[in-house]
Amino acid sequence: MLIGAQARTVQAAPFAAYVMDARTGQPIYRQNSDTRLHPASLTKMMTLYLAFSAIESGQVRLDSRFTVSSNAAAEPPSKLGLRAGQQIELRYLLRAAAIKSANDAATTIGEGIAGSEQAFAAQMTQMARALGMNNTQFRNAHGLTTEGHFSTAHDMSILGRHLFYDFPQYYNLFSRRSADAGVTQVSSTNRRFLDDYAGADGIKTGYTRAAGFNLTASAQRGNKRLIATVFGGTSTAQRNQTMAELLDNSFARVPDRVRETRPAKPRMLVQATTRRAQVEPKPEATRPEPQRIVLDSSPAPVARPAASASLVAAAAKPTVSLDEALARATEGATIAASSTLSLAASARPVSRPGSRSDAVETAIAQAVASDNGSASLASPVIEASARPEPSPDTTAPAASVTPGSLTLERSSAPRRRSETVILAAMGEGDLSDPAALEIVTRRADSGRGFGISLGLYRTRAEARDLLMQLALQDGKLFGGAERHVADTARGWEPRFTRLSKSDAELACGRLATRSQDCTVIAN
């Protein structure tokens, strides 16, 4: 009786299933697919989706260190074993949540991104609406049974498809059997299905007593890719077998080639909070009759006295003292009545000492008196000016130099420049005959003797698909590289070869941020 009671308790979780063609999003099989049920740890798919979105938007980075709260540290298993106050990088939290399904890691992610688990759950629900998951509501980041926390097989399949298309650089995280989570090495909760079903590459398992054994899986065969979700399995083996049967039947029903329709990435809706500032009014603003300033009542400006001009005229004469200029400025009728100044009556300024003003005045007088209009006004000035002394001719004998002569005939012609180039060594070098020239040739791909190894995979197709995916994503980096899948004793090893050492190190650095195994190798 006790065994039967336990069996009925396990069977109490309702069963639901949904299968879609990942290329188009079209349904292939459905059963209770829109029934709201407990999603269990399938919830962490949304936790990871928001974390990937935060990384893509620059809000956080993979090496951002999150502080573990007492709330996160107290989460029940499955857990990573984090301690309150501990700091851990986001990359390790992602691995623990995706591979081990650690509840304490999922809570730390939510609190680190949104500030609290409640705020993060609100963001999860908001994102679910943006993705078209209309029958989903989240209350936490880990998926433990909570009132008001529910989803459907249809909605979780939608989320799995968006994970595959929206974040291909992180999708390989769901197919890893184990990973370094910082504090320990973790193993995948989905490794049985990944190992047993050909073409499976993810995504997430979940289990609680209320939910049963849940699974959202993705698998590829040739050009076909399916995403399916099962709720309410009675055991891990029964759930995996049911999923395998659903996928086998669906692969046989979908066409080999269809037009791929990628899902549109959601537009995040940000709630903006507007706060009105409370400012106390100034006393002037509360007066019944504010004081006013009338500008048109100011007196007109006083006119400037005209006598000041006489000071300027008087100051123009350099021989008049300051007292005399002031006396003339105060004279009554003559200066007050006159408002104009006659420049003709002003004294001519005294010539600067040493200037030849006499010659200039004489030339002007002669030009005015002359009847010949074509006479040059400058010729008298030029004739009166002194001729400059010639520079001494240092190349001719002193006796042959005629004073006042500007001829260059006595200067010697310059020597013809020699076409011989003389190379001299700086210091005491080797002055022997130079050695014979040695011609060294290099291969066209010289310096590109490095490559990268991307780990081991069970099938050649998986390794080849990874190389193709990375080549498409980073075409600028891998454009000149060669793709090669090595058949090793431990599995199929995808490699990029014919890279320079710097390009190989750069590629591994980029792939490390995507949690992709990468090792620099020599070709």
* DSSP letter string, 322-391: HHHHHHHHT-SHHHHH-----GGGSPPPPPPTT--HHHHHHHHHHHHH-S-TT--SSHHHHHHSPPPPPP
b or e along 322-353 (b: 16 or more beta carbons within 10 Å of the residue's beta carbon)? eeebeebbeeeeebeeeeeeeeeeeeeeeeee
Among 33, 44, 53, 175, the one annotated catalytic: 44
**150: amino acid identity, one letter:** F
**Phi, psi of 323, deg, nearest 5:** -65, -40
Asked whether the CA dihedral 53, 59, 65, 69 is positive or negative, the reply is: negative
Cα 481 to Cα 449: distance, rounded to the nearest angstrom: 11
Kindly write down the DSSP assignment for every residue of 119-155, as one continuous string: HHHHHHHHHHHHHT-TT-B-S-SS----TT-BB-HHH
Instruction: Look up residue 494 and give its two tokens.
Output: 């995808």
41 noted as active-site residue = yes
Indicate which residue of 41, 151, 310, 515 is catalytic.
Answer: 41
Residues 6+ positions from 386 with CB-CB distance below 8 Å: none
Cis ω before 203 (30° cut-off from 0): yes
Number of other residues whose CB lies within 10 A of the CB of residue 461: 16
Nearest-angstrom CA–CA distance, 34 and 155: 8
Exactly one of 33, 53, 69, 101 is catalytic; name it.
Answer: 101
Determine the distance from the C-alpha atom of residue 187 to the mean position of all C-alpha atoms in its chain, rounded to a whole number.
35
101 is catalytic: yes
Any bridge partners for residue 151, and if so which?
A: 37
Candidates 241, 175, 182; CA nearest to 204 is 175
Comparing CA positions, the residue from 28, 52, 38 lying closest to residue 266 is 52
Which amino acids are annotated catalytic? 41, 44, 101
